[in-house]
Amino acid sequence: MAKVETKEKKITSKPIKEIPPESAINKKSTKSKKTTQSLEKPFLETIAGIGPTTRKRLEEAGYGSKEAIALATRSQLTEISGIAEKTAALLIREARARFDLGLKKGTDYEVAAKTRVKLTTGSEAFNELLGGGLETGSVTEIAGENGCGKTQIAHQLAVNCVKYFDQDVIWIDSEGTFRFNRIVQMAQALEIDPEVVLSRITVGRAYNSEHQMALTEEALTMVPNVGLIVVDSLMSHFRSEFAGRGTLAERQQLIGRHLSFISKQTEILNCVGLVTNQVSARPDGIFFGDPNRPVGGNVVGHTVTTRLMIRKGKDIKRTATLTKSPELPDGKIEFSITTEGVRDYKK
Ligand code: GTP
Ligand code: MG
């Protein structure tokens, strides 16, 4: 019970005029840590035998930091041109020696959980379903049919991230549906300067799956103070590029890599990860429950921490169903999408 109370203090979904104090404190402590880190010499520069060319290649592939290398596998590094087995082993050994790999006590989890905060959705009912909002440190998937409101929710979370976390947003747009005017409308509704919000969102328009993965990695090295990473949508390019059955294994492998990279980064940066996903009719037919399921199979299902399914109702009405969470019961609520953004549904 005490846990619920702590979370509720951090939630502020009603018209709020200021940053919730606890979120602000937590987020500020992340910031100061980053400032200290940036004074250190970059990891790759401290490794004898790694010249500028190799360093550039590693950085371009998203392995510029000791954290990224410590959590990489040897085969991921040897895939990069010019990185031999011996070099990969050396890099991983050095990175792991300087990075706490993570054997922890149960009490450490308690401490880590306290640094996680919730990003409000804009609807109290929706927040309640999520134990307060979307949690930092993991990836939430929002799935549903065309037009159900996935992209709208992402716009709302981007505005909320700037307003309540005072942090930046990375938005990987694979469908060309980021709309600055929706950000303006939602920001105005929360009485925050739209220009400030827009200036804090870095949008990468992804034209294919390779581009999507590269943009995500680049944005994460470029944007210093990330509170939210949006990938809208996760699967559209992968689905159209890897259409045949024969390409399924390769597709799943790439999605797994892409998604686990995002997941790792949300943990390291203690930010919210949000991926939207399409749905397809279940091939096995179904007599009860939802006839649709998110695409991407087990790889996506296992890698995301929290799964939500959105359904469109009449006019502004929507329903959200929580189908996967490591600590919350499944449930279903009603909310609405209005010109102001995501709000409670009022009959
Ligand atoms: P796909 O990307 O095609 O899978 O759909 P999606 O789930 O991302 O849908 P999206 O978030 O783009 O939602 C589009 C719907 O949001 C519209 O059909 C409207 O119902 C609603 N919507 C968008 N803008 C507004 C607005 O300004 N006011 C209101 N009331 N509703 C809006
Ligand atoms: Mg969309």
pLDDT tens digits, one per residue of 69-118: 888 889 989 998 889 999 999 999 999 888 777 788 888 888 888 899 99
Which residue lies with its CA nearest to atom 30 of ligand 1? 338
Omega before residue 233 within 30° of 0, cis: yes
Joined tokens for residue 306: 């929290």
What is the tens place of the pLDDT at every residue in 187-244?
999 999 999 999 999 999 999 999 999 999 999 888 989 999 999 999 999 999 998 7
Supply the CATH classification number for the domain 106-344.
3.40.50.300
Which CATH superfamily hosts domain 2-97?
5' to 3' exonuclease, C-terminal subdomain (1.10.150.20)
pLDDT higher than 50, residue 38: no
Q: What is the pLDDT of residues 165-192, one digit of tens each?
A: 999 999 999 999 999 999 999 999 999 9
Between residues 144 and 268, the one the model is more confident about: 144
Answer whether 118's CB lies under 8 Å from 126's CB.
no
Instruction: For CATH 3.40.50.300, list the domain ranges present in the chain.
Output: 106-344
Q: What is the mean pLDDT of the chain?
A: 86
DSSP E strand boundaries for the chain? 118-119, 134-135, 139-144, 168-173, 201-205, 226-232, 272-277, 279-281, 292-294, 306-312, 317-324, 331-338, 341-344
> Which is the closest atom of ligand 1 to the Cα of 310?
7
Q: How far apart are CA 178 and CA 18, in angstroms?
A: 26
User: pLDDT at position 286, please?
Assistant: 60
- Start-end of CATH 1.10.150.20 domains in the chain: 2-97
> For the segment 282-338, what is each residue's pLDDT rounded down to a tens digit?
766 666 667 789 999 899 999 999 999 999 999 999 999 999 999 999 999 999 999
Instruction: Give the number of the ligand closest to the Cα of residue 149.
Output: 1
Cα 164 from Cα 127, distance rounded (Å): 14
Which ligand places an atom closest to the C-alpha of 173? 2
Task: Say how many Å lie between the CA of residue 3 and the centre of ligand 2.
Answer: 34
Predicted local confidence at residue 39, as pLDDT: 55
Q: Amino acid letter at 219?
A: A
Atom of ligand 1 nearest to the CA of 155: 11
Flag the least confident range among 68-72, 132-136, 151-155, 327-331: 68-72
Q: Which residues, chain by chain, have CB under 5 Å from ion ligand 2? A: 150-151, 177
Predicted structure pTM score? 0.77
